[in-house]
Amino acid sequence: MQTPKRHIVLMGAPGSGKGTQGAILAEKLGIKSFSMGDILRGVAKGESKEAQSIKKLIDKGRMVPNKLAVRLMENELLKPENADGYILDGFPRELPQAKVLDKDLASRKYKKYNMGVDLVLLLQVPDDYVIDRIIGRYQCAKCKELYHEKFKQPQKFGICDVCGCKEFTRRADDTYETVVSRLRTFRSVTAPVIPYYEQKGLLVCVDGTGPIDVVSEKIRKIVGY
């Protein structure tokens, strides 16, 4: 039996389902899924000078410099409780981050931990599919159960299946314009990471359309668990 891959980068445009698939994979492998957003929000709660300056950047909606982003991610990955591996959800976000991460994990300081990326999964979905997926979604105001105008309406119209609540909310940024602009950013900023990992022989593309369990089964075969 092959050993499953345990140092995984999960890539895909916004709305490709990588958050969902990352969570499933993390549970199956018994490791954690990390996103830069979560890490930054965690760090920003601290009292240190660095925490305060990161909080300022977040509040202004600015990006954290690449080297700092990578260092914060590495701090998490190298915690003893994460020794069994990691899933990076949407990280590295851009090519310089990918290069710094690789260089660091292969450096003398980190090499002994054997933490280098060994698989990059790219979830591929057509743009119109992403747009459909994102702008139709809404959730229960009370229990946060997720619904979708096209793919998952409550059994009884207007009433949450889980808790019976009749109020629903939508994320303010789930509009056509923001989705298109996020797709454009993905293409210009993040897409250059794809050929980089391809050249290293680490990239595997996965068709991300279709039901969640069909996609996660494809991923299971690739990861080898």
Task: Specify the residue, 163 or 189, whose C-beta has the smaller distance to Zn ion.
Answer: 163
Q: Does 54 bind Zn ion (CB under 5 A)?
A: no
The beta-strand segments (E) located in 113-178 are 119-124, 137-140, 146-148, 168-169
Decide: 135 and 175 in contact? Cβ < 8 Å.
yes
Place of tokens 């959730």: 139
Q: Does 160 bind Zn ion (CB under 5 A)?
A: yes
Tell me if residue 184 is catalytic: no
As measured in angstroms, the least distance from the Cβ of 157 to Zn ion is: 14
Q: Does 140 bind Zn ion (CB under 5 A)?
A: yes
Tell me if residue 137 is catalytic: yes
Six-digit token string for 7 = 């140092």
Q: Does 165 bind Zn ion (CB under 5 A)?
A: yes
Six-digit token string for 27 = 């549970």
Phi, psi (degrees; rounded to nearest 5) at 17: 95, 15
Question: Which one of residues 159, 162, 189, 214 is an interface residue with Zn ion (CB under 5 A)?
Answer: 162
Task: Specify the residue, 141 or 222, whose C-beta has the smaller distance to Zn ion.
Answer: 141
Task: Specify the residue, 165 or 194, whose C-beta has the smaller distance to Zn ion.
Answer: 165
Place of tokens 């698989």: 119
Decide: 117 and 202 in contact? Cβ < 8 Å.
yes
Question: Distance between CA atoms of 142 and 157, rounded to whole angstroms?
Answer: 16
Tell me if residue 41 is catalytic: no
Tell me if residue 109 is catalytic: no
Question: Distance between CA atoms of 151 and 211, rounded to whole angstroms?
Answer: 10
Task: Specify the residue, 25 or 160, whose C-beta has the smaller distance to Zn ion.
Answer: 160
Site string for Zn ion, 85-124 (x = CB under 5 A): ----------------------------------------
Tell me if residue 67 is catalytic: no
